[in-house]
Amino acid sequence: MIKIYNKKETTTQNIFLFSEDDWEQEKSNYPNTEHFFNGKKSEVFIKTDSNEINFFIGIGRDSKGFEIQNVANKFANDYKKNLQAVATSVHSKLGLDLTEEFVKGLFLGTYLYPFERSHPFWQENFELYFENISDDEAKNLALKTEALCNGQFAGMEWLNKPANYKKVDQISEFLKSTSEKYGLKYKSLNREESIKEGLGAFVAVNQGSSQEASFTILEYKSEKENAKTIGLVGKCVLFDTGGISIKGSANLHYMKSDMGGASAVIGALITASELKLPVNIIAILPITDNAVSEKAYLPSDVITAYSGKTIEVLDTDAEGRMTLADGLSYLSKNYETDVLIDLATLTGSSVRMFGYTCGAYFSNNDDLKKSLEKSADKTNQRLWNLPLWDVWKDDFTSDVADFKNISMKPFGDCIVAAKFLEQFIEGHQNWAHLDIAGVAFGNVGYAKDKAATGYGVQLLLDFIENYN
């Protein structure tokens, strides 16, 4: 449990936060440190006395919230061996908002895969003291940070799991017990039930798998009357081999990360319900893998999606848009939502476009665009808008069905995929699609190879907090 207090006490472990300017003014008070530290962003100087350890951490100049969070995250991760599980005072001039960012970063920086609360910060004897915030504020900060860690870590943990540890049954068990824990409504349709329900596009992807399908619906209902309802759909392909249109073997292991959309949704849902945020959330996770087998769907198959529209499959590796098409139609047809957002590691095209710098997003609503971008900029989980112009639709009209699942042109697939999804939102007027293939799984401080970044959780939470 995270323990944060307002107290001015002498502690044996201290953290001093200095901007470059503050340090310039105050360094003469620290005669033995003056020449070793400048306050540059992420600079750390450790000064030990006989029974004291002091960490001087630089936060640079005019740092924004996410930068402070990053400094703290990096510090918690880099210095875990030096840090002790003892009462610790933080001396800083940060206001409440930036202090919150700092604390979130500190605790998010304790993540390792597989995650155990073994970092000194999670131990019984670790307490954090701030001089500049009240006791109530401190308590609130602890609750918020813990809820964020519980959500974000759960999402990251599932994303990082190797393919043989994230089978449909295993993640479904987790989602079921999570629902019990947080009082969420849980419903899952297996393959047979999905067929009966008419989820043809989702089932097409699952039919080649030796694993059951699990079209999962999770509902968080807030106690607030007339709360707004947010619909979330997360791509949850547990492993993407490409299916019959099989992928090459180079870097194929990264395709365990094809549930990055779902992990963002799971994280946000857990945190939101732990904090009892005053909104309703309906989350759909169409869970399956994309496997190669005798039973797998084939290029040329014509599939009837949940909406009744037909899809000619020309590439079985474009499976994400199949599962999402049904997720979106199902949510839009069966639930009243004020806003509908899907997140997906959908296309290599978005990675080629933006690398690891931002997600590509698409929306049919200008106000929604503004709020999403605001949250994306604030959390540094950035998004860049791309068009949904009708001309793109011409690229996936089919001779034998309403649509093809790919365009035959060698460009713009992330736009094609988004335009394709738009055909399945059943006229929802406030929809956004986030293609996060480049940002969900990548270079991180806590692992040597690519791993879960946690992208999307804080973005969604910030959006949710401002959406009521």
Q: Taking the chain, what is the end-to-end CA distance rounded to the nearest angstrom?
A: 29
Nearest approach in angstroms of CB 406 to ligand BES is 4
Nearest approach in angstroms of CB 253 to ligand BES is 12
Binding ligand BES by CB under 6 A: which of 146, 240, 342, 462?
240
Of 104, 166, 191, 321, which one is the catalytic site residue? 321
Please choose, from the candidates 134, 141, 148, 127, the residue with its C-alpha nearest in 3D space to the C-alpha of residue 98. 141
Binding mask 309-328 for Mg ion (x = CB under 5 A): --------x-x---------
68 vs 233, beta carbon nearer Zn ion: 233
Tokens 């670790």 -> residue: 126
Hey, which residues between 53 and 92 contact Mg ion (CB under 5 A)? none
Query: Cα–Cα distance between 420 and 307 in angstroms, integer?
Result: 13
Q: Which stretch binds ligand BES (CB under 6 A): 145-153, 202-210, 342-350, 372-380?
A: 342-350
List the single partner that 11 binds among Mg ion, ligand BES, Zn ion, none, CB under 5 to 8 Å by kind.
none
- CA 447, 453, 458, 461 torsion: positive or negative? negative
Cβ density class 279-311: b for 16+ within 10 Å, e for less: bbbbbbbbbbbbbbeeebbeeebebebbbebbb
Binding ligand BES by CB under 6 A: which of 209, 347, 375, 423?
347
**232 Cβ neighbours under 8 A, 6+ residues apart:** 265, 268, 269, 281, 282, 283, 284, 341, 342, 343, 460
**294 Cβ neighbours under 8 A, 6+ residues apart:** 208
Preceding amide of 114 cis, omega within 30: yes
Given a contact cutoff of 8 angstroms between Cβ atoms, the answer to whether 11 and 87 are in contact is yes
Helix extents (H) in 31-167: 65-78, 96-108, 135-160
Query: Cα–Cα distance between 135 and 133 in angstroms, integer?
Result: 7
Binding ligand BES by CB under 6 A: which of 320, 359, 412, 454?
320
Q: Which stretch binds Mg ion (CB under 5 A): 131-139, 164-172, 234-242, 301-309?
A: 234-242
Active site residue 321: yes
Indicate whether 240 belongs to the interface with Zn ion (CB under 5 A). yes
List the single partner that 148 binds among Mg ion, Zn ion, ligand BES, none, CB under 5 to 8 Å by kind.
none
Of 41, 47, 176, 247, which one is the catalytic site residue? 247
Q: Which stretch binds ligand BES (CB under 6 A): 17-25, 107-115, 194-202, 316-324?
A: 316-324
Nearest approach in angstroms of CB 421 to Mg ion is 15
197 vs 315, beta carbon nearer Mg ion: 315
Binding ligand BES by CB under 6 A: which of 133, 138, 272, 351?
351
Residue closest to ligand BES, measured at CB: 348
Binding Mg ion by CB under 5 A: which of 43, 146, 157, 240?
240
Binding Zn ion by CB under 5 A: which of 231, 242, 320, 454?
320
- CA 329, 330, 336, 342 torsion: positive or negative? negative
In three-state secondary structure terms, 340 is strand
Indicate whether 234 belongs to the interface with Zn ion (CB under 5 A). no
Instruction: Please provide residue 58's backbone torsions phi and psi, each rounded to the nearest 5 degrees.
Output: -85, 140
Binding ligand BES by CB under 6 A: which of 88, 89, 349, 423?
349
Binding mask 250-269 for Zn ion (x = CB under 5 A): --------x-----------
- CA 256, 455, 4, 182 torsion: positive or negative? negative
Residue closest to Mg ion, measured at CB: 317
Indicate whether 157 belongs to the interface with Zn ion (CB under 5 A). no
Nearest approach in angstroms of CB 26 to Zn ion is 52
What are the start-end ranges of the E strands in 314-430?
A: 339-344, 359-363, 383-385, 403-404
Binding ligand BES by CB under 6 A: which of 108, 269, 318, 386?
318
- Total binding residues toward Zn ion, as defined by CB under 5 A: 4
Given a contact cutoff of 8 angstroms between Cβ atoms, the answer to whether 418 and 386 are in contact is yes
Binding site for ligand BES (CB under 6 A): 240, 258, 315, 317-320, 345-349, 351, 406, 413, 437
Query: Which residues are the active-site residues?
Result: 247, 321
